[in-house]
Structure 1
Amino acid sequence: MNPKRWTALVIALVLFVVSIGVNSVIYALKSSATATADQIIEEQSSSVPTKVMEPGNAKEKIAYLQVDGTIQKVDTGAFAVGYNHKNFLAQLDAVKKDKTIKGVVLYVNSPGGGVIESAEIRKKLIEMKEARDIPVYVTMGAMAASGGYYISAPADKIFAMQETITGSIGVIMQTINYQELAKKIGVRYENFQSGEHKDMLSPMRQVTPEERAMMQEMINESYETFVDIIEEGRGMKEADVKKVADGRIMSGTQAIKAGLVDEIADRDQVIEAMRKDFDLADAQVIEYQDPSTNWRSLLGLKTADFFGPSLEERFMMKMLTNHNTPQMMYLYGDN
């Protein structure tokens, strides 16, 4: 074999080996792309970065936390927008462990959300307060309704803007029925079940009176829990709570008259009030951040996006998986 043929054969062999290596790497990346994105979100949520909002004594800190958006456990980390439930619970744990934090200002700007998620926040908030024996002030934004008020109730003081929409004390569960539409377009639902009520709230049939009574009993139970929490947190009588616990919304000034809010103030005034009330004039104010917005998270997610399903595809898969059944909500409005 002449030298040219040998050279061509060697080049072909090298290209073949390189091709196998590249394809193996791409296959491995593709097979783990979705898991990689989820791991990045998981890892980022478990660490809680902070930034200094107002300089001061680092041995005496006021922690500024935010609940901004619908209180619901959804995988929003891939889009870095909206409320991050896992990260917020991690923030409460971080405050509980940090002995330098002497007070918490909690900003609530939310229409509420899931019954379970709201209860998780309240539980963590109370655990943190009791473990550290530190004050918690709530400052309400444009809206702190339903579940937004539920998580505010344990605070030592609640502040709102005059224009804040709050209240909406109650529980809601919604489902859709498209039985008639299915008939019109020729779609029939075949169902196999073990019990009479296994398909309760199916969108392909009417709810029976018995099932409606069952659901109402569940709603009433969660409603009474909500009322009890306000009684405990605000030191109010049950009758006084129930006067306004009919789902109505109210302004900040109306909420003061109802006993649900203490004072009208904005965020800066609330921080200043905590400084004054607890001798924290020189305290440093720190803000906890959502780590899913940092460069490492975004770079990792973009890599996963290149080799695997797109961010939009992953988001839609999560939404279809997690939100295809009715849920009880402490929620105001159509969110």
Structure 2
Amino acid sequence: MDRSSESGTPSPRRRRWPWIVGGLAVLGFLGLVALGIALVLLAGTPGTTTPTTYDEEYVSGGGADKIAVIPVEGTIASADSSLSGPVPIATPEGLRDALRQAREDESVRAVVLAVNSPGGGVTASDLMHDALQDFRRTTDKPVVVSMGDVAASGGYYISTAADRIVANETTLTGSIGVFIPLLNFSEASERYGVKQIYIKSGRFKAMGNPWNELTEDERRIFQSIVDQYYDEFVEVIVEGRDLPEKRVRELADGRVYSGIQAERLGLVDRLGNLDVAVRVARDLAGLDEARVVRYVQSPSLLETMLARLEPREPESLQLLRAANLDLEAKPYYLYLPGA
């Protein structure tokens, strides 16, 4: 007979919830470890990227021959090569992969570069310009630019490498110039007694630091860099648009032009939308008909996982970005109102 029933006292039960909670914690930890390993395997070797293959989205037309529409949208910048996977086409790496795909596909007879970009970094813009020139040199496939809402500064810089440029009447283009953004906290530093001290090897080593006023010597050095990149911008327009250098320098005062103004000034070839640019590309390729496809990106598994894990950007950082205070102190071919 059960002794507990004789005494009237229920027998103590073993507590199982600590084991359950502990088991769940172990499973959660193992899940995080597995996720980390999966991310590492998907990312590959740090600092390397694998060539991206873009999906083809049908746009219009038909036939065996194709015209590839390659969109360049957003700010032009170098890709972050710390993780592998697809990179935006508004990067030298992304454009290089898209042009490689168009080069290797024998059915692609022409390329239309759909540019909707205010430009970006000088180096990234120059690399994209070089990639387009290399594509034209190594293939007999014409390149036509179709400008969207904005194709200014670096967006115009890369466009000069095309065989033809087509702009909408309402396109904002031009903004031919370069700038280096430098913050200055010197007044706030004096007011609040905050200083940044640099132990440096030469008097210009920390030039442009935001805690001190820019000296005249430092200003001249930065200006010489800006002038050098400005001259390069002028040169690509002279070569790409076959315009006299004097005329280009008259136009290259940093202002933006409408599509109508740009066409009248010789900065673009004709006015029209993407359909017009496609017809120009088809004529240059000597085609009666062609199937128009757009290169698009589908997010990879890695990108989807990282997007879910990425923390929400702090509001303060969003405000800095909106005020363009997050720009690095480097040269830009960028249309930035007020710059």
Q: What TM-score do you get using the length of structure 1 for normalisation? A: 0.81
How well do the aligned residues superpose, as a CA RMSD in angstroms?
3.6
Which residue is equivalent to 2:199? 192
Residue among 311, 323, 331 paired with 2:334: 331
C-alpha distance in 2 between matches for 1:129 and 1:12: 69
Which residue is equivalent to 2:7? none
Amino acid at match of 2:53: S
**Offset at 1:18?**
3.9
Report which of the two has the higher share of helix: 1
C-alpha distance in 2 between matches for 1:275 and 1:133: 13
Q: Check conservation: 2:238, 2:244, Cα contact below 8 A.
A: yes
**Offset at 1:201?**
0.6
Q: Check conservation: 1:63, 1:105, Cα contact below 8 A.
A: yes
Identify unmatched segments of 5+ residues in structure 2: 1-10
Q: Check conservation: 1:70, 1:83, Cα contact below 8 A.
A: no
Q: Check conservation: 1:145, 1:249, Cα contact below 8 A.
A: yes
**Offset at 1:279?**
3.1
C-alpha distance in 2 between matches for 1:212 and 1:197: 11
Residue among 223, 246, 268 paired with 1:239: 246
Write the deviation string for residues 213-262 of structure 1: whole angstroms up to 9, x where unpaired: 11111111111111111111111221121121111221222212222111
Which residue is equivalent to 2:58? 52
Residue among 148, 151, 160 paired with 2:155: 148
Q: Check conservation: 2:79, 2:87, Cα contact below 8 A.
A: no
Which residue is equivalent to 2:306? 301
C-alpha distance in 2 between matches for 1:193 and 1:29: 46
C-alpha distance in 2 between matches for 1:187 and 1:35: 42
C-alpha distance in 2 between matches for 1:311 and 1:123: 36
Identity across the alignment (%): 31
The runs of 4+ residues in structure 1 deviating greater than 6 Å are 11-14, 36-40, 42-45, 80-83
Residue among 60, 69, 77 paired with 1:72: 77
Matched, 1:124 2:125: no
Q: Check conservation: 1:177, 1:203, Cα contact below 8 A.
A: yes
Matched, 1:111 2:130: no
C-alpha distance in 2 between matches for 1:68 and 1:290: 13
Which residue is equivalent to 1:225? 232
C-alpha distance in 2 between matches for 1:253 and 1:299: 42
Identify unmatched segments of 5+ residues in structure 1: none
Q: Larger RCO: Structure 1 or Structure 2 (Cα < 8 Å, ≥ 6 residues apart)? A: 1
**Offset at 1:108?**
1.2
Aligned residues: 316
C-alpha distance in 2 between matches for 1:162 and 1:170: 22
C-alpha distance in 2 between matches for 1:197 and 1:183: 22
- Bigger shift: 225-234 or 85-94? 85-94
C-alpha distance in 2 between matches for 1:109 and 1:324: 20
C-alpha distance in 2 between matches for 1:37 and 1:214: 44
Matched, 1:310 2:316: no
Q: Check conservation: 2:67, 2:111, Cα contact below 8 A.
A: yes
Q: Which one has the largest radius of gyration?
A: 2
Matched, 1:281 2:288: yes
**Offset at 1:121?**
0.7
